[in-house]
Amino acid sequence: MTNLRRCVVGAEERVGTRRLGPATYVNLDHAASTPPLQAALDALMEAVRWYANVHRGSGFKSRWTTQRFEAARERLVAFVHADAASQALVFVRNTTEAVNHIARRVPIPPGHVVIVTDMEHHSNDLPWRRVAPVVRVGVRPDGRVDEAELRDLLHRHAGRVAVLAASGASNVTGWVNPVHRWAAWAHAAGARIVVDAAQLAPHRPLDVRSASDPEHLDVLAFSGHKLYAPFGAGVLVAPRAILGAGDPAEVGGGTVDAVGRDHVVWAGLPDREEAGTPVILGAIALAAAVDAIETVGWPTIAAQECVLTERALAGLGNARGVTVYGGQDADTGRLGVIAFNVDSVPHGKAAAILGDEWGIGTRSGCFCAHPYVQALLGIDGPGARALADRVVAGEKRGLPGMVRASIGLSSTVEDIDRFVAGVGAIAGGEHDDYAEDAGGEWA
């Protein structure tokens, strides 16, 4: 754990706290964004020295940058085990842009629907609402997707399902979804599966598998900023048959081979789907990050995460008046992402206390997954609409939500113990006075 921590930039920075005085910052907000690995930052700084725009430049720096940029693409193709002959890897800014991109490109025949789980981050929900009728799959009380309902919906809409949109893992409860099993179900129903792997990618290996495998993933998206390379690059992997058909999603520089006053010849893949100057430096840094992660090894990463998650869940389980969403068990089906509430303490207040008094970075609210959080909190449709009306009226005080602690490569036993102690103190009323403003911020 100590060696892994040394690989993460900023892991030893100190902050002021109201209770402990100057203390090493405890970052338990990795589910929102990760700090860079030193390897990613080193690769970025080297690339900055030799940076020029890619493709068509004859100078040494342009040729050097082009080679590194395309090598980064090849490295990430290998990272997800894609077949370069049938699948294209396109660089985007983040997972949100990737899903919006593919939602504009995937063919959706008239009368077809998109199936979306209630677990989804808004980024794998809202883009589909723009292009097709959406059918939702509910979640069980423990936060897992209701697989029986999913199978029933796929059977009921068989032949009329264009896409199954599913998270690789939840950014709220950390549940890991069996997306390969769901892929086989989707394919049997005539659908494609689009997997938002933003939360899964930093924790577990990705494998889209061959198109000949019934369990292959048709589309995969993830973000560099969640994968220890927060420099503006994200990844979209999709079939060439989809991305190469028709006009590109966005048009302009780099997407064409020839343009006349009255005609356009679109470039081949991936250029036609990367309009303008691509995220060159971010892509190079992301490739370096995945190199470093795979050098450490997924078994090591998963084992560390399991130890820390078990310790955190056990500590929260011993604290009076603490509710953990998604259950108390740490197993291979769950990441180190823990959402909880403390009885009689608003979630925003609890997060503020952890930050101000204990030097612990967490996050509070609904984590861009409002339907999922509402389901876990037992808020029905009318209740959700009433909350929306309050927000429209400018009143954000007292909105429901949770606190989220999320473990990363720099996390240690000492971090978890301080976190558990902080939550215990909050539950016991041992904290300063705080007030909430109209915007929902506590101080």
Contacts of 39 (CB under 8 A, 6+ apart): 7, 288, 289, 291, 292
Q: Which amino acid is at 257?
A: D
The residue annotated as part of the active site, out of 7, 306, 366, 368, is 368
Contacts of 283 (CB under 8 A, 6+ apart): 69, 72, 73, 76, 91, 224, 233
Q: Where are the alpha helices (DSSP H) in 297-412?
A: 298-318, 347-358, 370-377, 381-392
The answer to whether 34 and 407 have CB atoms below 8 angstroms apart is no
DSSP per-residue codes, 233-292: -EEEEEEHHHHTSSS-SS-STTSEEEE-SS-EEE--TTGGGS-SS--HHHHHHHHHHHHH
CA angle 125, 131, 135 (to 5 degrees): 55
Structural tokens at position 110: 């008239």
DSSP per-residue codes, 321-340: TEEEET-S---TTB-SEEEE
Phi, psi of 119 (to 5 degrees): -80, -15
Structural tokens at position 61: 């720096």
Active site residue 368: yes
Quick one: which of 337, 340, 331 has its CA closest to 307? 331
User: Catalytic residues, which ones?
Assistant: 368
